[in-house]
Amino acid sequence: MNKKILIVTHWFYPRQNPRAFRAFELYRQLAVNNEVEVLIGDWKVLLRRDQDYHLLDKYDTSLVNGKNATFSNSKFIQIGLKIVQYFIGERYILNSGKFIKKNIELSKYDAIISIGLPFYVHWIVAKKINKYKGKIVSISDWGDPFYGDSGKKVAKYFKYIQKFVCETFDYIVIPTSNAMNYYKNYTSDQTKIKVIPQGFDFSEVKVSEYKQNRIPHFAYAGIFYLDKRNPELFLEFLTTLETDFVFTIYTITHGEIYQRILLKYKRILKSKLVIHDMVSRLECIRLLSKNDFLINIDNMSNVQVPSKLIDYSLSGRPVLSFRQDEIPCEKFKAFLKGVYDNALEISIDDYDIKKISLQFENLINGG
C-alpha cells in the first residue's frame, strides 16, 4: 500500500559518509512504491516527492570540506567545539535545528523515519511526535550510539534525553544485534528494537579486473578517530618492516589525526604511504578492488559494524581486520606474501537495499 513517508536526516546526497548513504539509498528504494520526501539539515532543503534529487548536485562538498578543514586544523577552534558539544550534544543543532523543527509537518505523512547521528535529528523529531502519538508511525534509525560513546563527550543529562527519545519513537532501528544490550537500557519496551543493517544498491557497483601487484598494495578507506580506529600503532608497526609495500589511505585530509599522525608517518614511510582525500563511494570501491588486500581497524566496542565492510566485500579483495591496540603482526606478514587464510568473512546478501527497504515498509505497515 502506497504510504506518505518523511525521512529526516542531517546527512544526504551528495555527502560521502555512512549516514548519508543510509538516508539516500533508503529514500530511493522506498520511493519506488511510496511517496517519499526528505528533510535535510545539512543543506537546509526539503526534497519533495516530485523533485529530482540531482537538484542537490549544486551543493559543492569540496567547498564545505575546505571550510571544515580550516576549523579542524585550528586547536583553539577544536577546543571550543568540544566545550560546545559537551553541553548541547552537537554543534549541528545550532545551524540546522531550527530549520528541521520548522519544516516537520506530521499531518502530511503516514510515517516518519529519523536518521541519526547527529543525535539532534532524533531529539527534534521525538519532541514533535511526542504530541502526535498514535497518529503516525515513527522510526528512529541509529548508526552509532550517542550517549556513552568514547568519541563523544557529552553532559550526563543527555542520558535522560536519549531515554526520552527512545521511549517516544515506535521503533528503534539498529544496524547489528551486537548493539541490542546498549539500547535495552533506553526503552522499557524492548520489542520495539529492530535490527536492520545498512543497505546498498549492488547493481551500481563496478570493480576493476584484479591483477596481483608486483609490490604488495593494500588500502584503508574511512575516517580515523583518536579514541577508536586510531591508525598510529599500525603505522608504527609498518615502519619496522624492511619489505617494500604501498599502503594507500582514503580519508579526511585535515584535522588532528591527519596533522598529528598521518603526516608524521608520511614523512617516515615516504612513498610506502599514499594519502588521498575521500572519494565517492562507487569510485572508492573501484579503486579498492585494485589492491591485493584491505585493512579494517575495528571499533573498540562491539556495538558498531563499520559500513565500510560492505564496500570492502563488494570490492572482492581479502580483508585483514584487527583492533587498533592489537596489531596481528604475523597475520599481516602472511597477507604481504599473498596468504589470506585469516581474511575476514563478510556475507553481503543481507545488505541488499531491496531487502532493507522491505523491512522498513513492514514496520510502517504494522508488521
The angle that helices 119-129 and 92-103 make with each other, rounded to 10 degrees, is 30
Q: How many CA atoms lie within 13 A of 92 on its CB side?
A: 20
The predicted pLDDT at position 61 comes to 67
Sheet strand arrangement including 4-9: 45-47, 35-40, 4-9, 111-116, 137-142, 171-174, 193-195
pLDDT at 367 over 90: no
Distance CA 8, CA 343 (A): 37
Supply angle C-alpha 114, 120, 125, rounded to 5.
40
What are phi and psi for residue 288, nearest 5 degrees? Answer: -60, -35
- Amino acid letter, residue 148: G
Residue 136's contacts (CB-CB under 8 Å, 6 or more residues apart) are: 106, 109, 110, 111, 112, 129
Rg, the chain, Cα only: 21
Three cell numbers written together for 31: 520511493
The predicted pLDDT at position 353 comes to 93
Q: How do residues 8-64 score in pLDDT, each as one tens digit? A: 999 999 998 889 989 999 999 999 999 999 999 999 999 999 999 999 999 876 655
For residue 191, the tally of other CB atoms under 10 A from its CB is: 7
Q: How do residues 204-229 score in pLDDT, each as one tens digit? A: 899 999 999 999 999 999 889 887 78
pTM of the model: 0.81
The predicted pLDDT at position 125 comes to 97
Nearest to 123 by CA among 174, 86, 162: 162
Average pLDDT over residues 105-115: 96
Residue by residue, DSSP assigns 242-271 as: -S--EEEEEE-SSSHHIIIIIHHHHHHHGG
Given a contact cutoff of 8 angstroms between Cβ atoms, the answer to whether 223 and 251 are in contact is: yes
Three cell numbers written together for 202: 549492488
Three cell numbers written together for 302: 562491539
Q: How do residues 140-194 score in pLDDT, each as one tens digit? A: 999 888 887 766 788 899 999 999 999 999 999 998 888 899 999 999 999 999 9
Residue by residue, DSSP assigns 107-160 as: GG-SEEEEEESSHHHHHHHHHHHTTSTTSSEEEEEESS--TT-TT----THHHH
